Amino acid sequence: MITLLLGENSFEIERALRQITADFNGIVERIDGSTLQLAQLPDLLMGVSLFATARTVIIRDLGSNKAIWPVLGDWLPRISDDIHLVLVESKPDKRTTTFKLLKNQATVHEFQPWTDRDTLVAERWVNDESKKLGIDMDKSSVQALVRWVGIDQWQLFHALEKLALVDIISVDVIKNIIEPNPIENVFNLFDTALQGDVNDLRQMLKILEQTEDPYRLFALLSSQVFQLAAVANATKDDNVAKDFGIHPYVVSKLQPIAKKIGKSGTAKIITIFAAADDDMKLSRAEPWLLIERALIKVANI
């Protein structure tokens, strides 16, 4: 039996592996496929242990092994019926003959990470997971948790583990005991700039400077500018949330701001960030200084 676990969603892959190992009553062998030698294949795929009649062999990242991956297809018919071979590949080359053979002969499960368009998927998942953990969460708390933590399943799961220790869950409780994700911090930072509060803006930047990478922060801020532009230029017949994959909550927060500064104000912000992006690429100043300068210009619009 062959199982192929594909994709870059490490949470779902680890959960699938735990289920496979839980269903197997025996010793599980875990192999690093990137360092596997061709001479080891006969024992792994054909050999039978003296102490067990069945084996589960989990091999990770075999696709990066240039010595074995091209010839693996020749070994597939030789795999013992007593062996469950589990291959874990995050980004295999789907054009290879080996992958095509595996796709036809293996049970394939693909797990891709969520994107910004999967917020509703994340909310449904949090709702289901909270019930499994015995957590009583209403819809507003579920939505607040996803906004506060983001769509990373590992972080969401760890947040739910913390909330499982609390008797009553509310939005305030979530904000008090769960660390916000960088995107939430960036949203608050951008919102502070849009409100024109320079003193709070500088204070927030000092705090973020201790933990955040400036280039990543600037990329996230640029994403906020794009979302603002989408909202500001939308007509009443447009569905911004659906068309651009923006969470309806974010749209609702940006709409009054977009209405206040208008298309001309939004255009000015785009120009500010375009200039800051050029300065970043040409290293005309320290990145944190460039970020602060751009946000203060936004605050003064």
pLDDT at site 51 = 58
Q: pTM higher than 0.75, yes or no?
A: no
Query: Contact, 85 vs 2, CB < 8 A?
Result: yes
Cβ contact 159:145 at 8 Å: yes
Amino acid 211: pLDDT: 77
Contact 262, 289 (CB under 8 A): no
- What are the structural domains of the chain? 2-110 (3.40.50.300), 116-177 (1.10.8), 182-299 (1.20.272.10)
**What average pLDDT does the segment 18-23 reach?**
93
Query: Do 163 and 174 form a contact (C-beta atoms < 8 A)?
Result: yes
Q: Which residue has the higher pLDDT, 148 or 215?
A: 215
pLDDT score of 50: 56
Side by side, the strands of the sheet bearing 55-60 are: 28-32, 55-60, 83-89, 2-6, 107-110
Task: pLDDT band for 10, please (50, 70, 90 cuts).
Answer: very high
Q: What is the pLDDT of residue 84?
A: 92
34-73 pLDDT, tens digit per residue, is 999 999 988 888 866 555 578 899 999 999 999 999 999 9
Residue pair 287/215 in contact by the 8 Å Cβ criterion: yes
Give residue-wise pLDDT tens across range 204-260: 898 788 878 899 899 989 988 998 999 998 887 788 877 787 777 778 878 888 888
- Share the mean pLDDT of the chain: 89
Confidence grade of residue 151 (pLDDT, cut at 50, 70, 90)? confident
Average of per-residue pLDDT across 162-168: 93
Q: Which residue has the tokens 């400036």?
A: 214
